[in-house]
A = this chain, B = another copy of it.
Amino acid sequence: MHKARLEAFSDGVLAIIITIMVLDLHIPRSEQLSALAPLLPVFLSYVLSFVYIGIYWNNHHHMLHAAQRVSGGVLWANLHLLFWLSLLPFVTGWMGENNFGAVPTALYGTVLMMAGIAYWILARTLIAADGRRSILATAIGADRKGVVSVVLYAVALPLAFVHRLLAQAIFVCVALMWLVPDRRIERVLPPAAE
C-alpha cells in the first residue's frame, strides 16, 4: 500500500509538472504565423523538459516496480526528487524566454544535476530498504549511467558560459542516453504477463 500511494502521488506531481510547463507558451495576440516565431525557443525548451519528465517518470516507474519495501526515508527521498523536478517549469520558462542565454542555461543544468543527484539518493535509499542482495540492488548495481549523467551536467555548467549550444548539446545527449528504458531492471525481472 505504501508503494501504491507513493507512486500515485509521484504520478500526480509529474503529470502536473509536465502539463503546467505548457502554460509558459503564452498565447500570442496576433493570428499571423510569424507571431509564433518568438515562441520557438520556449517550445524547444518545453520539448526538452517534456522528454526529461518522461524519462524520470519511466525510470521511476521501473525502479519502484522492482523495489520491495518503502521505508520512511524513501518517502522523503522521493519528495526531495519531486522538489527539484518541480523547479523545472520555472527554469524551462526562463531559459526559453531568454533564447537559451548562458545564465538560464546554467541554472537549467543545475536543476537537472540536482534532480539527478536526488534520483541517485532515492535509488540508494530504496536499495538500503530492500537489502544489498535484492532484485533492485542487482538491477541497478553501481548505477554508472546515473553517475555519468550527473558528471555530464556538471561539465555542462561552465560550458554554458563558453558557448550556450555546447551545454544544450550535452542536455540532449544525456536525454538520448536515457530514452532507452532501464534495460538493467527488465533484464533481471522475469517477463510477467501483466
Contact residues of A with B, CB < 8 Å?
1-3, 5, 7-9, 11-20, 22-25, 27-33, 36, 47, 50, 54, 57-58, 61, 65, 68-70, 72, 75-76, 79, 82-83, 86-87, 89-90, 93-94, 97-98, 101-104, 107, 179-181, 186, 193-194
Interface of A is mostly: helix
CA distance A17 to B11 in the complex (A): 14
A61 near B5 (CB under 8 angstroms)?
A: yes
Give this chain's copy count: 4
Which residue in chain B gives the minimum CB-CB distance to A87?
B22
In order of increasing CB-CB distance, the 6 nearest A-B pairs are A12-B15, A31-B98, A31-B101, A72-B181, A16-B19, A27-B93
Given A2-B65, A3-B194, A11-B5, does the pair A27, B90 have CB atoms closer than 8 Å? Answer: yes
Q: B residues within 8 A CB of A28?
A: 94
- Across the interface, A194 reaches (CB within 8 A) one of B2, B57, B94, namely B2
Given A16-B19, A27-B24, does the pair A194, B89 have CB atoms closer than 8 Å? Answer: no
Given A2-B194, A27-B94, A86-B50, does the pair A13, B19 have CB atoms closer than 8 Å? Answer: yes
Q: B residues within 8 A CB of A27?
A: 24, 90, 93-94, 97
Which residue in chain B gives the minimum CB-CB distance to A19?
B16
B54 near A79 (CB under 8 angstroms)?
A: yes
Which residue in chain B gives the minimum CB-CB distance to A183?
B72
B76 near A54 (CB under 8 angstroms)?
A: yes
Given A13-B15, A72-B186, A98-B31, does the pair A89, B22 have CB atoms closer than 8 Å? Answer: yes
B19 near A86 (CB under 8 angstroms)?
A: yes
- Across the interface, A19 reaches (CB within 8 A) one of B20, B24, B58, namely B20
